[in-house]
Amino acid sequence: MSDEIEIRIHTSLTDVSEKEWDGCACPEAGHGRPIDPFTTYRFLKALEDSGSVGQGTGWQPQYMTAHAKDQMIAAAPLYAKGHSQGEYIFDFNWAHAYERAGGRYYPKLQIAVPFTPATGRRFLTKPDWEQTGQAALVQGAVQFADQNDLSSLHITFCTNMEKDAGRQMGLMPRKSQQFHWVNQGFDNFDGFLSSLSSRKRKNIRKERRTAQGFGGTIHALTGDQIKSEHWDAFWVFYQDTGARKWGTPYLTRTFFDAVHATMRDDVLLVMAEYEGRWIAGALNFIGRETLYGRYWGCTADIPCLHFELCYYQAIDYAIEHSLSRVEAGAQGEHKLARGYMPVETHSLHWFRDTGFGEAVANYLEHEAEAIDDEIEVLTSYGPFRKDRVQEQE
């Protein structure tokens, strides 16, 4: 690494100014909404201040910044991980194999947004510093892992361009798959439906009628429309879903208060009300081009309400606000029938033990072929009219 570039590690974002961090994370925010809300200072600080990351969570902040002369040119949300929870790019088998061979897999290093399987830049660089900044961050993270006897470095849900750059710098790329809805210039929801096969179109209309006919009201709230009562209700939903999926919810109640204080204009909260009670809700974050679906929960079992609040209301919002995409989170083949198509997602990996790294590289090569086959098969089962698919190709 050039002597002119200095790498610094910060155990708290309070050591970094918001202006400097966001100058790397979202320089476009001076001209509107950030492209990615999750790498902003506000979001990462909400995680830290709320105790969702830090002592006792297995996500220990080691935020990395790169400096040239008198300016910060790059940053990365880096964490020392004591487990593999909350990542959505699964490496449990790697950990077991590493430890069966006599190694210690944890702690490891992770460049990621905790609990957030959304694609975005992970090497945050100021404009015109992309190549230098990326190289500095990768070299800095690898050196940090090596000097502290950490097993590995993982960069999850990075962009395709970062995947290519990381590969050139010696990191191992890994391919995975999610379901995203893509706006093809639809004027309204009916325009989207017209692109589907007749059977799928009828099914979605039936699901929407069923959900919307539950006897209550659906509210799409953002900004100052969101009140403390909505967060109180959503916290109950989130706890229930988290307990069933992960055992222990990742986020604390204080996190949602912090988001409300600094990011409520970047939030779309879709809530269902029945007889004066909130019975279900879906939390989305709004980017400049993408709506990111994050959490859902309920206290009443209403047929099709999950599809309505999480998927169809998100499509409605994306069309109305000319967003190009809805990312509905990890997993879920049931999204396919609702217009969310399979897409590639990417991560990068490095192991201090070169022999183990070679074994993982061989595995990743075969895994990528399987992912390609899976995407091809899933795409063939998509809900779109065949003539529409041919037009897209």
Three-class DSSP category at 206? helix
> Which one, of 52, 58, 115, lies nearest residue 81 by Cα?
58
Tokens (6 digits) for 195: 């692109």
pLDDT mean over 258-265? 98
Structure-model confidence comparison of residues 44 and 240, the more confident one: 44
Kindly compute the dihedral angle of the four CA atoms of residues 227, 231, 232, 237, in this order, to the nearest 10 degrees: 140
Q: Which fold has domain 5-177+344-380?
A: Aminopeptidase (3.40.630)
Q: What's the whole-number mean pLDDT along residues 350-367?
A: 97
Asked if CATH classification 3.40.630.30 holds for the domain at 184-323, the reply, yes or no, is: yes
pTM listed for this prediction: 0.95
- Do residues 340 and 311 lie in contact, with contact meaning Cβ atoms separated by under 8 Å? yes
Q: Locate the domains of the chain by residue range.
A: 5-177+344-380, 184-323
Is the fold of 5-177+344-380 the same as that of 184-323? Answer: yes
C-alpha separations of 6 from 115, 173, 327 in Å: 29, 26, 36
Contact between residue 224 and residue 260 where contact means Cβ atoms under 8 Å apart: no
| The pLDDT value given to residue 243 | 67
Q: Is the pLDDT of residue 355 over 60?
A: yes
Mean pLDDT for 18-47 is: 95
Residue 59's H or E segment, with its range, is strand 59-61
Could you tell me the CA-to-CA distances from 299 to 20, 187, 272, 374 in Å, in that order? 42, 34, 10, 35
Q: For residue 32, is it left (φ>0), alpha (ψ between -120 and 50) or beta?
A: left
Structure tokens at 294: 């994050």
Cross-strand pairs, 267: 285
Q: Residue 3: pLDDT above 90?
A: no
Distance CA(235)–CA(254), nearest Å, equals 10
Question: How far apart are the C-alpha atoms of 23 and 162, rounded to whole Å?
Answer: 19
Q: How confident is the model at residue 344 (pLDDT cuts 50, 70, 90)?
A: very high
Identify any residues that bridge with 344 across adjacent strands, giving them in sequence order.
177
Residue type, 64: M
**35, 289 Cβ separation under 8 angstroms:** yes
Task: Give me the residue label for tokens 């604390």.
Answer: 252
Contact call for residues 273 and 216 (beta carbons, < 8 A)? yes
pLDDT of residue 284: 98
- In this prediction, residue 343 has a pLDDT band, given cuts at 50, 70 and 90, of very high
Q: Please determine, for residue 15, whether its predicted confidence score (pLDDT) is greater than 60.
A: yes
Dihedral class, residue 88 (left if φ above 0, else alpha if ψ from -120 to 50, else beta)? left
Cβ 25 vs Cβ 75: under 8 Å:
yes
At 123, is the secondary structure helix, strand, or coil?
coil
- Sign of the four-CA dihedral 80, 85, 88, 92: positive
The vertex-72 CA angle with 70 and 73, nearest 5°, equals: 115
* Averaged pLDDT of the chain: 95
Answer whether 159's CB lies under 8 Å from 120's CB: yes
Residue type, 136: A
For 285-340, what is each residue's pLDDT tens digit? 999 999 999 999 999 999 999 999 999 999 999 999 999 999 998 878 899 999 99
**Residue 282: beta bridge partners?**
270, 296
Q: Can you give the pLDDT at residue 249? A: 85
Residue 242 pLDDT > 80: no
Q: What is the pLDDT of residues 130-158, one digit of tens each?
A: 999 999 999 999 999 999 999 999 999 99
pLDDT at 386 over 80: no
pLDDT of residue 241: 77
Would you call 106 helix, strand, or coil by DSSP? coil
Please tell me whether residue 101 adopts helix, strand or coil conformation.
coil
pLDDT reported for residue 331: 79
pLDDT (tens digit per residue) in 39-96: 999 999 999 999 999 999 999 999 999 999 889 999 999 999 999 999 999 999 999 9
Report whether 179 contacts 325 (CB < 8 A).
no
**Phi, psi dihedrals of residue 55, rounded to the nearest 5°:** -50, 125
Instruction: Return the residue matching tokens 């989170």.
Output: 329
